[in-house]
Chains A and B, each alone.
Chain A
Amino acid sequence: NAGVTQTPKFQVLKTGQSMTLQCAQDMNHEYMSWYRQDPGMGLRLIHYSVGAGITDQGEVPNGYNVSRSTTEDFPLRLLSAAPSQTSVYFCASSLTGEGNQPQHFGDGTRLSIL
């Protein structure tokens, strides 16, 4: 019953540092995605993947990298952290990217860049 698991839950970085936010799902979902949630902005799509080995950019991809080597995992990498990347990051998955399946969300990673 794990669903979508995100680690870490909280992280503080200094400007210029790099880090990887982890996301794993145990539902054999093909589609996975990353969103960021900022006050007054709503959730915005960063990157998404429709299956292992396939990724694409969302609305706000700059400063982030992703890869999808397995169905279960979809890590998000910050290459050189900037204060503008302070946000709450959510990973989501669904059975496929097509069709009418609901999205399942993790509990988020709260990231602060100093």
Chain B
Amino acid sequence: KQEVTQIPAALSVPEGENLVLNCSFTDSAIYNLQWFRQDPGKGLTSLLLIQSSQREQTSGRLNASLDKSSGRSTLYIAASQPGDSATYLCAVRGAGSYQLTFGKGTKLSVIP
């Protein structure tokens, strides 16, 4: 059974810092990996999707990498802003499966 772990569970940084969020998964037979953002009381917003054949994806200040063989992904946020404060979730879709398996998330606080 696929398991997804996100470390740390919570992170507090001063505004302007670059930061890295980590995601690891136990079964490397994945179809893709997605990073989501969740604001309090809201649904999930898809940030980046990395196909299993890709190594990284970029969108603005966000860069996500994927090392499928080692079961790891990172989300890099450059020049963090208070508006980046949210919970970030990592989810993997297994090969041949419709199901997304989610990590428990990293709660990020960016202090002005």
A residues bordering B, Cβ < 8 Å? 4, 31, 33, 40-45, 48, 50, 56, 58-59, 90, 92, 97, 100-108
Contacts and interface: CB of A to CB of B under 8 A. Distances in A.
Given A40-B104, A43-B100, A107-B43, 8 more contacts: A43-B44, A50-B98, A90-B43, A103-B34, A103-B44, A103-B100, A104-B46, A108-B41
Contacts of B102: 42-44
B63 interface: no
A22 to B, nearest CB: 15
Contacts of B45: 105
A45 B97 CA distance: 12
Contact of A97 (B42, B98, B103, B104): B98
A2 to B, nearest CB: 13
A58 B99 contact: yes
Interface of B: 4, 31-32, 34, 36, 41-46, 49, 51, 89, 91, 98-100, 102-105
Interface on chain B toward A: helix, strand, loop, or mixed SS?
strand
B99 A102 contact: no
Given A58-B99, A105-B44, A41 B49 contact: no
A100 B54 CA distance: 12
A48 B99 CA distance: 9
A43 B101 CA distance: 8
B46 A103 contact: yes
B81 to A, nearest CB: 23
B38 to A, nearest CB: 9
Contact of A31 (B36, B46, B98): B98
17 contacts: A31-B98, A41-B104, A43-B44, A43-B89, A43-B102, A48-B99, A56-B98, A90-B44, A100-B32, A100-B49, A102-B49, A103-B46, A105-B43, A105-B44, A105-B45, A107-B41, A107-B42
